[in-house]
Structure 1
Amino acid sequence: MKRIQILTALLLATVATSSAQIANWVVSPEYEAIRLRDNGMLEVSKNNKTGLMDGGGKEFLKIAYDSIGDFNSGQALLFNDSKMVGFVNTEGNIVETDSEFEPVKDMEFFSEGFLPVKKGHYFYYLNTIGEQVAGPFAEVRPYFNGFAAVRVYEDIQKNTKDTYLSYINNEQHLTRAEGIDKNDDISFISSFRDGQAVCVYKRKAYFISKDMTSAPIITDSLSPKKSIINFDKDYILAPVEGGYLMKAKTAYLYFNDAMQLDKIETVGTVLYAYKEPAKEVKERVCDIVAFGEKGSMGVKYKDEVVLPQQFGEVVPLDGEYAAVEKDDKWGIIRLDTKNSPVFKLNNNEHIGFNHRYFTAKLSASLPSYLKANDATIISKSDNCEIQVESRHENNNVERNTLTYDCRLAIPEQLSDTLSMHDYIYALKYNGFTSVDYKVTIPQWYVKYYEVQLPNNQFTITPKDTISVEFDLVKTDAARNDDTNYFKTVELVTPEAEGIQLSKITENHYSFRVGGVNRDKLSFIVRITEVGCPPIEYPFEMAFSNPAPESGKKATSVVVSPILKATKALVPGEIASAEGEETTVEPVTAPDASKPLEVQPQELPVNIAD
């Protein structure tokens, strides 16, 4: 009843398993590049053309352009053959523009709904539906705070040399500040920033507010009239790092590339400095994380490895999406967090080896969208050889199944009591390689011979010897044929030396024991099949010597098998039993070892020892 005791202990343990995710392509790997833009859209390139997708791989803008500008004021410029051909808004609506319009250098973006453009020698503004709303001008600047700085023609019909500086508001009306009366005396105007701009009028510097009032810029509040910043007649606006410098007689004025005021300083004193408003930095949090080095990267989802290192590059996107480079081509994957391959070996029943090899069925149950003919199982265990010619595929609307025969080699040191053994598999499918999955199966070495003694009781005198004979008889677990396995049979006598085993026939053996000066003698019949661990059958000979006063000289000898003590298996040592699911878990799962829950169950057992 030893086997029944072991199986009963097995039934006390059921295991909590964890599952990993599986990936599928939402955009096939056919693109030359995929780049994540600041607004979360994806710029995709193919055949030297570029388009846009959303974060889930849905086409937003067809791949038809040489380049696409950044979105500003909800618009992005489109270019072909180094020319602007239109722009697209955040809803995907495309506006085609006059081919003669070209964006102004360093101003190739919409600002507050208007785009500076150039046609021939003249400058204009376009609105978001592509209409020309203002112009022609001699110079233009982008809109800020509702105004744009422009250079206006006095009378373009008469000549193009007479111009003056002014502001144009967002209704395309020319306007200037109060107190700034003569156009010819305005020598400089800046773009607005934080509701104010700088104007040089009659060689003096003024602040212009967005309500179009003016105030002189002074260096000494105690002497405002005498400390107004003023300029020489031929002052210079010189380019410097990050923008421009304009030197006054008593101060330096710094402007950025958009001609917005950055700083005003005198000798040793900063009169004004623009303070950049604090920007809320939103850290981009993704459940998907790339790991590894460029050229060999993998994917983690919520800190669990779901795709080992196999990609050239990985760009995490929102949710369960990622852009990946595979074999020099880019695509977009989506992780399926609700499904996982389910592996079964030997139909989740424990394995009893009675020979060097055991053939078991290996199956992988796959989500319905993953066809079995697109998948392959690979073994990562040396003692499991998948028989590729046995491949069988079954597809249905719920789950698809891929099945192979596996030739399992008997594990080293496998005993004749149940113990756990792990097999490692991975799935190749649709260009992916999964994490390693561990299938844990309880197994034991089933005795394929029993040792039977024709006679187990003897009588021996001091000078006699006895001949102990035994037969090897195939068990029900042995193969049902006439084959004698390639085996060796040994006699082990730990308490005596020189006892020889004689082979009478292939399955009949004997040895002789003499002498009565002992109480017992143990011996072991050890049977070893080639490539298998040995099976030992222990016996004990008990010698009963007669009492001295009895006058008898014969000694009685009884040979009995030694029953090995059976250790009760404890939860945690065994993961499953016959009829119960085995442990099938990804090797990389972080919670692969959880405490086992104790749940009594019943299992019919028809093996006895």
Structure 2
Amino acid sequence: MIKRLFLFTILITAAVSVSAETAVWSVLPEYNGITRLSDDLFIVEKGARSAIIDASGKEVIPMTLDSITPMVDGKSLLLTRDGSDFRLRSIIFENQRIVNVDGEYFVGDYPFFSEGMLPVYNKKGYYGYIDDEGRLAIDFKYRNIHPFSEGLASVSKISTGVFGSVKNKVSDLANNIAKRKTRVYFIDMHGKELKLQKDIGNITMGSTFLNGESVVEDTKGNFFVINTQGRMIKRLGSEDLTFDDRYSVVSDDETPQPVKTSGPQPFLDNRKYGYRSAKGGVVVVPQFNYAYPFENGHAIVKSGAFWGILALSDGKFDVTKRIVVKRRKNVDEVVEYNVTVPAGYADTPLSMVIDADGQKSEETSESGATRQFKIKTPESDYKLYLMSSNLILWSANEDVQTKMETADMMRISVSKSSKADKNDRAPITVRISNPTDEEVTIEVKVTGEKLTPVTKTLTIPEKSSRSIHTAFNNVTEASSKTVAVSIEGKTSYFKVNPVTPFFVDF
């Protein structure tokens, strides 16, 4: 039994514009979390531990830390847990200079340097300040302190209990002050107290200076705005105050400005993230669970359950194809894909992966500026992926479409009339023409009343034809005959008229 054969046409349907940029893995996706620390430094996490790597993946700080703070004023704090406290171990600068801290210092509500000073506390719970070389600059003699700004910081000397967290416009100090009036001072970087205007009196709250102004509250609950000389600028009524993370008073209508990014931007397609250039060309095809914008040539992405870092690379992947072996009876079609590779990938192994309804196969090429992949194509729609280290570099949907059955594409002609020979056999010719660009192999059956039946397998080259010869038997009188021609089980009918005998009576 000859299997029904179809002609297959392969169409590449990845109709998207292509960017002249691509991406490579700078850091393979193997971390539980990644946070950008600076242009060229990243915090990476595995389990409960943290480390710092550079943009190439080189370890700058080993995986020994419990917490790493964001870079503020060009400095980040490297911390380990000590019970419920975080002890300062080192300071890393944006230029990757590292200062190891020998003293037993802990950080609390303001874990960042401001004007070169860091609020810290000791085991007894007393607060002071260290400089960015890790040296104690102002001794531990305060119970509450705030960041320096414009050369001044507000502090309190009397215990008000453990100072809680200040998070985005909410200050526990304000709550403590409401419960218990505590005298507050402003000190300079040498610990010297700022003298306030005499009629202000003692204060129980003083916000961090911002643009030369601080909001203070006196012991009677009155609010004033003072300058850095301790002089009153104006009085305030009873009003709610909004604090930022430095304990400065800000307006409610001050909204954070969006972060400006450069380079390709993420886009979402079918619940996966990829990257597009500013002109809309696809730089990285959608494949990530989450993706951050490119900054300084690098982007943080989540691939599956883990995080990695991409780096931009010049060039693009150009893919062309050529049919090497055409599909025919008992022969699979073989397609050769030729890939022009960007310089950054010339020495990188690449794989061409075929995915047909979840059934995957792949061909690998180790190196070269151009690569060739010869693939036996399936007989159903499939997807193609060009990959390196689990990064999809190029993709296409290949639609293997049955344009029409072979019978519908073949052209059939049958003799219009026939005259019997002296043996009363009237010969006819059935011609099958193949107008396509593909060689086909088909099964043809020719039948009819008093017709010698023929079943034949024909291989017809492209744009060629083949003939089948047979004859009607016992033709003794003129008549019209019907011929049935079946190609791969699909039957067409043709009239042969007239069919005349060898001798005709007049």
What TM bracket, shorter-length normalisation? 0.5 to 0.7
- 1:375 pairs with 348, 351, 355, which one? 351
Deviations 1:69-98 (A, max 9, x none): 123333222102331112223322222223
Distance apart, 1:510 and its partner CA: 2.2
| Letter paired with 1:211 | Q
Show the counterpart of 1:79. 79
Distance apart, 1:403 and its partner CA: 2.1
Deviations 1:531-580 (A, max 9, x none): x57698978656899xxxxxx9679xxxxxxxxxxxxxxxxxxxxxxxxx
Q: Cα gap change, 1:372/1:401 in structure 2, threshold over 3 Å: closer, same or farther?
A: farther
Show the counterpart of 1:168. 187
Distance apart, 1:65 and its partner CA: 2.0
Distance apart, 1:133 and its partner CA: 2.6
1:190 pairs with 2:206: yes
CA distance, structure 2, for counterparts of residue 145 and residue 260 of structure 1: 13
Deviations 1:189-239 (A, max 9, x none): 5134441342648998765321332478587xxxxxxxxxxxxxxxxxxxx
- 1:288 pairs with 260, 263, 266, which one? 266
Matches within 5 A, 1:514-593: 515-516=477-478, 523=483, 525-526=485-486, 528=487, 532=488
Deviations 1:146-198 (A, max 9, x none): 21123579xxxxxxxxx9864322465433134379xxx73635134441342
Matches within 5 A, 1:148-547: 148-151=153-156, 166-170=185-189, 173-179=192-198, 186=202, 188=204, 190-194=206-210, 195-198=213-216, 200=218, 207-214=225-232, 217=235, 256=243, 275-276=251-252, 278-279=254-255, 281-282=257-258, 287-291=265-269, 297-301=272-276, 311-318=288-295, 321-334=298-311, 338-340=315-317, 342-347=319-324, 351=326, 355=329, 357-365=331-339, 367=341, 369=345, 374-380=350-356, 395-406=366-377, 424-427=383-386, 429-432=388-391, 435-438=395-398, 458=419, 466-468=425-427, 470=429, 487-491=443-447, 498-503=449-454, 509-512=470-473, 515-516=477-478, 523=483, 525-526=485-486, 528=487, 532=488
Q: Cα gap change, 1:199/1:510 in structure 2, threshold over 3 Å: closer, same or farther?
A: closer
8 Å contact kept, 2:483–2:496 = yes
Show the counterpart of 2:161. none
Q: State the TM-score, normalized to the length of structure 1.
A: 0.55
1:107 pairs with 2:85: no
CA distance, structure 2, for counterparts of residue 166 and residue 540 of structure 1: 116
Deviates more, 1:297-306 or 1:393-402: 297-306
Q: State the TM-score, normalized to the length of structure 2.
A: 0.64
Show the counterpart of 1:143. 148
8 Å contact kept, 2:443–2:456 = no
CA distance, structure 2, for counterparts of residue 83 and residue 199 of structure 1: 33
Deviations 1:109-152 (A, max 9, x none): 22232112224555332222333333343343322332112357
Q: Cα gap change, 1:151/1:132 in structure 2, threshold over 3 Å: closer, same or farther?
A: same
Distance apart, 1:505 and its partner CA: 10
8 Å contact kept, 1:306–1:435 = no
- SS of equivalent residue, structure 1 residue 26: strand
- 2:100 pairs with 96, 99, 114, which one? 96
Unaligned runs of 5+ in 1: 1-14, 154-162, 220-250, 263-273, 412-421, 478-484, 493-497, 546-551, 556-609
Unaligned runs of 5+ in 2: 1-12, 159-181, 458-467
CA distance, structure 2, for counterparts of residue 25 and residue 124 of structure 1: 44
Deviations 1:6-60 (A, max 9, x none): xxxxxxxxx9975657654221122122245798964311353223456786766
Show the counterpart of 1:244. none
Q: Cα gap change, 1:125/1:51 in structure 2, threshold over 3 Å: closer, same or farther?
A: same
The count of residues paired between Structure 1 and Structure 2 equals: 436
Show the counterpart of 2:3. none
CA distance, structure 1, for counterparts of residue 239 and residue 430 of structure 2: 112
8 Å contact kept, 1:312–1:326 = yes
1:30 pairs with 2:1: no
CA distance, structure 2, for counterparts of residue 505 and residue 110 of structure 1: 90
CA distance, structure 1, for counterparts of residue 184 and residue 431 of structure 2: 114
8 Å contact kept, 2:352–2:386 = yes
Q: Cα gap change, 1:298/1:490 in structure 2, threshold over 3 Å: closer, same or farther?
A: farther
Deviates more, 1:108-117 or 1:444-453: 444-453
8 Å contact kept, 2:382–2:398 = yes
Distance apart, 1:490 and its partner CA: 1.8
| Structure having the higher Rg | 1
| Letter paired with 2:196 | A
Q: Cα gap change, 1:59/1:440 in structure 2, threshold over 3 Å: closer, same or farther?
A: farther
CA distance, structure 2, for counterparts of residue 142 and residue 372 of structure 1: 50
Q: Cα gap change, 1:78/1:301 in structure 2, threshold over 3 Å: closer, same or farther?
A: same
CA distance, structure 2, for counterparts of residue 340 and residue 276 of structure 1: 50
Distance apart, 1:469 and its partner CA: 5.1
CA distance, structure 2, for counterparts of residue 372 and residue 164 of structure 1: 67
Distance apart, 1:340 and its partner CA: 2.8
| Letter paired with 1:490 | V
8 Å contact kept, 1:467–1:510 = yes
8 Å contact kept, 2:298–2:311 = yes
Identity among equivalent pairs (%): 16
Deviations 1:459-510 (A, max 9, x none): 799xx965215599999x9xxxxxxx89452236xxxxx4533459997632
8 Å contact kept, 1:354–1:448 = no
Show the counterpart of 1:66. 66
CA distance, structure 1, for counterparts of residue 348 and residue 97 of structure 2: 42
Distance apart, 1:328 and its partner CA: 3.0
1:50 pairs with 2:50: yes
Q: Cα gap change, 1:398/1:129 in structure 2, threshold over 3 Å: closer, same or farther?
A: same
8 Å contact kept, 2:299–2:311 = yes
- SS of equivalent residue, structure 1 residue 27: strand
Structure with the bigger RCO (C-alpha within 8 Å, sep 6+) is 1
| Letter paired with 1:148 | A
CA distance, structure 2, for counterparts of residue 16 and residue 205 of structure 1: 66
CA distance, structure 1, for counterparts of residue 252 and residue 371 of structure 2: 59
CA distance, structure 2, for counterparts of residue 202 and residue 448 of structure 1: 102
Q: Cα gap change, 1:499/1:132 in structure 2, threshold over 3 Å: closer, same or farther?
A: same
Across the aligned residues of Structure 1 and Structure 2, the Cα RMSD in angstroms comes to 5.6
